[in-house]
Structures are given as structure tokens and as C-alpha cells.
């Protein structure tokens, strides 16, 4: 049995969405507490994540943590719905690249913009948000999804993140990005996931 360790309105929410897309049986274990930026909260001793964060996934005795690892693990384990190209598929390279890009470039880019850090180009392993969004825009112009014509788990990661940033000074929305977010959010699995959000 797959168990998603979830705390409402955190990065774990998108894995309810992915699990709903995958259609496999799973259960949600609610993480009772996480640390908050204002110093409140704390670590739930029942949360298996090594830093007490959300999300974590258990597959029997196997523990998986880090969002991109969880996405890859789940789509490899449950390939039948085609949510992640498997080894041998020509789109596999793009798939693992976007997964790594999410954790290694997109999140650091937005966090450094939020913190107003000036990125030393050539030294930092990531680039500024305008470069990130230019690549994403160019990719989606060929789209409609990051892997082309087929929706995948990377669209869950990127689409839900863009939705969260929409309306904040960090994120310059465009009709193309709005349409992409809407395309991802209009999926029935997203609505089912929302219904389970506070599980």
C-alpha cells in the first residue's frame, strides 16, 4: 500500500493530485505538524521525512522523499496511465530533465527572487526567474504541455506551483501561462484531490 504523508496546503497536496491521476490505491497519513517560517509549529515524530517536511511517501517499507523523487518513483511504479515516460521512451530525457530542473533550478530561482538574492551567474547552479520563465514559455508555445502533447507529472509540479505564485509580485503571468495553469487545474483528478486536501 502506498501511503502519502501529507499536510494540508503544502507541497504534498500535488501528490494527492498525482495519485488520483494514477488511479492506484493509496492512503493519506496526515502529518500533524510542520515547522512554520515564523518559528511556530514543530516536527511530527510520526513523519518519516528525514527533515520532518511534507511530503513523504511510503511504499510498504520503502521511504521516498523530495517531491521530484516521489513523482519519478510513482510514475515509474505505475506506468499504465502514462503520467511519466519510462526508460526507452524518447521523452524520458525531457521528463527527468524537467524533474531535476524543478528542484535544482525553478525552486531556487523563485526562492532567491523572494529573498532578493543576487545570483552570481556562472557560480550558482540555477538562473534567474526571467530566464526560467523564458524557457518555460518557449517550451509551452510548442506545448500544450512541458513534454509536448502529453500531460505528465511535471505539469502537476509546474502547474500547481504557477497557480500558487499567480497574483504575487514574483510571477509575471501571461495569457499562455494562464491557459497552461487552467489546463492543468481543470483536470478531474485535481478536483478529486482538492476534495481530499483536508483528509
> Which residue ranges make up the site for ligand GSH (CB under 6 A)?
10-11, 34-35, 51-55, 66-67
In whole angstroms, the minimum distance from the beta carbon of 176 to ligand GSH comes to 25
Minimum CB distance to ligand GSH, residue 8 (Å)? 10
Distance CA 54, CA 42 (A): 12
Q: What value, to the nearest 5°, has the Cα angle with vertex 81 and ends 63 and 76?
A: 35
Give min distance, CB of 56 to ligand GSH, in A. Answer: 8
Minimum CB distance to ligand GSH smaller for 52 or for 82: 52
Quick one: 56 or 143, whose CB is closer to ligand GSH?
56
Closer to ligand GSH by Cβ: residue 9 or 150: 9
DSSP state, 104? Answer: I
Minimum CB distance to ligand GSH, residue 55 (Å): 6
Least Å from the CB of residue 174 to ligand GSH: 25
Q: Helix, strand, or coil here: 148?
A: strand
- Of 89 and 197, nearer to ligand GSH (C-beta) is 197
* CA–CA gap between residue 88 and residue 8 (Å, rounded): 36
Q: 4 pairs with which residues across the strands?
A: 28, 57
What is the dihedral angle through the alpha carbons of 138, 141, 146, 150, rounded to the nearest 10 degrees?
A: -160
Cβ-proximal residues to 81 (8 Å cutoff; 6+ apart), any chain:
21, 22, 23
- In Å, the largest CA–CA distance within the chain is 46
Residue 148 phi, psi dihedral angles, 5° rounding: 105, -120
Cβ proximity to ligand GSH, 66 vs 197, nearer residue:
66
Amino acid at each position: 500500500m502506498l501511503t502519502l504523508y501529507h499536510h494540508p496546503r503544502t507541497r504534498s497536496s500535488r501528490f494527492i493530485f498525482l495519485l488520483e491521476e494514477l488511479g492506484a490505491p493509496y492512503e493519506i497519513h496526515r502529518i500533524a505538524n510542520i515547522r512554520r517560517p515564523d518559528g511556530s509549529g514543530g516536527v511530527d515524530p510520526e513523519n518519516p521525512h528525514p527533515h520532518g517536511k511534507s511530503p513523504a511517501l511510503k511504499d510498504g517499507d520503502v521511504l521516498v522523499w523530495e517531491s521530484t523523487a516521489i513523482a519519478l518513483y510513482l510514475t515509474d511504479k505505475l506506468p499504465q496511465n502514462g503520467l511519466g515516460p519510462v526508460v526507452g521512451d524518447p521523452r524520458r530525457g525531457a521528463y527527468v530533465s524537467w524533474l531535476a530542473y524543478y528542484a535544482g533550478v525553478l525552486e531556487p530561482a523563485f526562492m532567491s527572487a523572494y529573498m532578493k538574492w543576487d545570483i552570481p551567474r556562472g557560480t550558482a547552479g540555477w538562473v534567474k526567474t526571467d530566464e526560467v520563465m523564458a524557457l518555460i514559455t518557449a517550451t509551452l508555445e510548442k506545448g500544450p504541455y512541458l513534454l509536448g502533447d502529453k500531460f505528465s507529472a511535471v505539469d502537476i509540479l509546474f502547474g500547481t506551483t504557477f497557480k500558487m505564485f499567480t497574483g504575487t509580485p514574483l510571477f509575471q503571468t501571461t495569457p499562455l501561462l494562464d491557459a497552461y495553469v487552467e489546463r492543468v487545474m481543470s483536470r478531474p483528478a485535481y478536483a478529486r484531490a482538492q476534495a481530499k486536501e483536508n483528509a
